[in-house]
Every structure is written in structure tokens, then in C-alpha cells.
Amino acid sequence: MSTETETGTETRTGSRTRTGAGTGDDLRTPPPRSATDPRPDPILALLARVTPFLLWQSARRKRREPRPVDRSLRLVVTEVRQEAEDVVSLRFTAADGSPLPGWHPGSHLDLDLPSGRRRQYSLCGDPADRTTYRIAVRRLAHGDGGSREIHETLTPGTELRAHGPRNAFAYAPGGACLFIAGGIGITPILPMVRAAAAAGADWRLVYTGRSRATLPFLDEIDAIGAMAGASGRVTVRTDDTDGIPTPEQLLSGAGRGTSVYFCGPPPLITAVRDAFPTTGAGGLHFERFAAAPVVDGTPFELQLGPDGPVLPVPADRSALSVLAEQRPETGYSCRQGFCGTCRLPVLAGEVAHAGSPTARRTDTNMLICVSRAASEGGRITLDV
């Protein structure tokens, strides 16, 4: 879609260039050297030849520069509701009452919490409702404090800055779909299920967790399951009554060509990914709600400023987790290399870049949640 936009821009810029070419026609006929020598002045002739090219190049460069888009919003909490054990949902409206930006199933918001933490939450309300956003948050007793802050400090009337919505887990309607949600992983999946049901698609949902008491939005899922044509499409299985599911059990509804959408805890995602190739299903789309474990990492060093301390980063940890331990105010959000919140300038050292180039912006930056030193034992000096 962005390519189409760029093409449109090119067409418009091309028109400007052609308009400029009219001026260039005059330049292409440089004045004679003197009244007695009718030959064109060589310097002016050269200028006349290269000027249109330089103008075209400069316009092209301007076109390609990414334009920063301000996607920040002022939101106000309108409702906090207990949805399940340790899970609350929050509804927000725009602080100035204006319509909220549209979104599609799978989108998330970045919320700036009062403490300065930035955290991401999937939108789990109705995309057609431009007056309200809804998210749901499970309180993690041993988390990094973001979920506790939401549970303990956000009340109706609290104002927050948010960014987005953005979508890194897009649902493509059409074709057979198997949705798998583990616990709070239901948040991005719920709007997808609603969209599939509304479109009359061939879909199944497996919703799993420790017990029914821990699963949010069961009432809404039951209502979708009770819709005409949805009979037998929803399976809720809990560890306390059905046992911990195997990846094969979760994927049992993934027939040939089926698209699988999955959100859940990292170990379950890893297990499902490993089992997926045996299913013959068409594609696996997943979103984690925690950082992916570091696999195949090698140790390296992180220096905080040219004269600052040097921190060892072990093979199984990210630079972000090591730095955040020393400096808890370190900013991060997705921990998967696509939001850019953890981006830091690099002063020295060779980086093996990972994550989205758009989030990194330039090669002199590093996404510390996913990038490492290019060589084992190498040292990266950050401008912090």
C-alpha cells in the first residue's frame, strides 16, 4: 500500500519536474560568450546540462526521506473492569472527545504510563467503534511493574498519552482459520474471531488457560459461539480439567491450507511453531506478549558511554535486559525489534543488527532488545 502512495507522490513530483523543465529549456540555451563570439559559454553550457539532473536528484532525495508521523493521542480512562482473576479491562476515549483513529484486528496501542514506562497492549474492542478503545491487562506479580502500575493506579479520569494504533499481527480475512489463544493472548485474537464470524468465514477458536476463572471475555466468546453457524467452532480447554495441552492438540483443527493465528506465552509459541510443519496448514501467524527467549546468542560487552562502565551481556540475555537491570529507566516496549522504543545511538563497535530497519532508522543506532555485537566478545559503546 505504501508503494502505491509513493507512486502517486512520484507522479505529482514528476509533474513539478516537467514544469521545471520549461525553465530548463531556457537554461539549455546559454548566452553567447560575447557579442563577437556567438559560441555558448562552456561553463554556463555545462551548468545548463547538469542543473535539471541535480534538481531531479534533490527532489528524489526529498521524496524518499521518511516523514515523521505524529501518532500520539491523549486518552482518558473511562472504565476499569475486572474481567477475570488478575485481569482488568480498561476503556479509553480521546481526551478532547474527537473520534479515535481507526484500527484493524491485531492492532496494539503503546501506552505511556504515569511512571514513564511505555508498554504495548492489544486492542480488544470493536474496530467499528471510533469513540472507545479497549485493552485488557493481566497483573504479573513478578513482571517489570507495568501491569502492576496499571492495576493499582489507573482509574476512570486518568489521562495518558498513547501512540498508535499500529498493527504487527494483521489478520487477513478469507479462507479457513484456526485461532489459538493462551490466556491473556485472547486480546488480539478476539477481534479477529469477531471479524471472521461476521464475514461468515470457516473458523475455529481454541482458548486455553489455567482455569476458567483466569480466562477473560468468556462471556463474549460464549456469545460468539452461540451465534448461528458458530456451533462447535469454539473450544475452551483449561489445565485444571483437561490437562496441559500438547501443541498437537492445539493444532488439531488446522487442516490443509488453514491459516493459524496464535497469541500466547513464549514457551507455548515455541512448541506450536515446532509442531506446525507437520500439520499441512497454510501459514502460522503469531504474536508474543513477552520477549522471545535469546537462542544462539553469543556473549559480548556493552559500554555505557566512551568512559562509562562495561557490562557483560551473556549469551542467553539481551543487551536490553542487562542495561535495564543497571538503569531501570531504560525505555522499551515490544522487546521484539519493531517499535523502536529501545533504539540507542552507537558510538563504537560493530553491531549485528536485528529487528526492523524502520524502527532502527539508521545504522548508527541499535535496537538493544534484539541486536548484539557482530562478533563473540565484541564491545558495543552506546551513547547513553
Summarize as ranges the residues that interact with ligand FES (CB under 6 A): 332-335, 337-342, 355, 359, 367, 369
Nearest distance, CB of residue 355 and ligand FES, angstroms: 5
**Is 154 in contact with 139 (CB distance < 8 Å)?**
no
Task: Say how far apart CA 90 and CA 80 lie, in whole Å.
Answer: 5
As beta bridge partners, residue 74 has: 161
**Is 180 in contact with 258 (CB distance < 8 Å)?**
no
Nearest distance, CB of residue 189 and ligand FES, angstroms: 21
* Residue 204 vs 335, nearer CB to ligand FES: 335
Size (the chain), residues: 384
Nearest distance, CB of residue 83 and ligand FES, angstroms: 26
* Residue 76 vs 291, nearer CB to ligand FES: 291
Residue-wise over 269-308: b if at least 16 C-beta within 10 A, else e?
A: bbbbeebbeebebeebbbbbbebeebeeebebbbbbeeee
* Residue 201 vs 354, nearer CB to ligand FES: 354
Pull the grid cell for residue 219. 462471556
Nearest distance, CB of residue 110 and ligand FES, angstroms: 9
Q: Does residue 306 have a cis peptide bond before it, meaning omega lies within 30 degrees of 0?
A: no
Q: How many helices (H) and strands (E) does the chain have?
A: 10, 18
* Residue 263 vs 367, nearer CB to ligand FES: 367
What 229-236 contacts at long range (C-beta under 8 Å, 24+ apart), as own/partner pairs, is 229/197, 229/200, 230/197, 233/203, 233/204, 233/205, 234/204, 234/205, 234/207, 235/204, 235/205, 235/206, 235/207, 236/207, 236/208, 236/212
What 343-346 contacts at long range (C-beta under 8 Å, 24+ apart), as own/partner pairs, is 343/367, 343/368, 344/368, 344/382, 344/383, 344/384, 345/382, 345/383, 346/380, 346/381, 346/382, 346/383
Nearest distance, CB of residue 321 and ligand FES, angstroms: 11
φ, ψ at 208 (rounded to 5°): -130, 150
* Residue 44 vs 290, nearer CB to ligand FES: 290
* Residue 238 vs 333, nearer CB to ligand FES: 333
Nearest distance, CB of residue 340 and ligand FES, angstroms: 5
Nearest distance, CB of residue 291 and ligand FES, angstroms: 8
Nearest distance, CB of residue 146 and ligand FES, angstroms: 12
* Residue 313 vs 367, nearer CB to ligand FES: 367
* Residue 367 vs 382, nearer CB to ligand FES: 367
* Residue 335 vs 353, nearer CB to ligand FES: 335
Nearest distance, CB of residue 48 and ligand FES, angstroms: 48
Q: Between the CA atoms of 35, 40, 46 and 49, what dihedral angle is there, to the nearest 10 degrees?
A: 120
Cα–Cα nearest to 202, from 186, 226, 179 = 179
Nearest distance, CB of residue 8 and ligand FES, angstroms: 30
In the chain, the amino acid numbered 261 is: Y
* Residue 207 vs 332, nearer CB to ligand FES: 332
Task: Say how far apart CA 105 and CA 127 lie, in whole Å.
Answer: 7
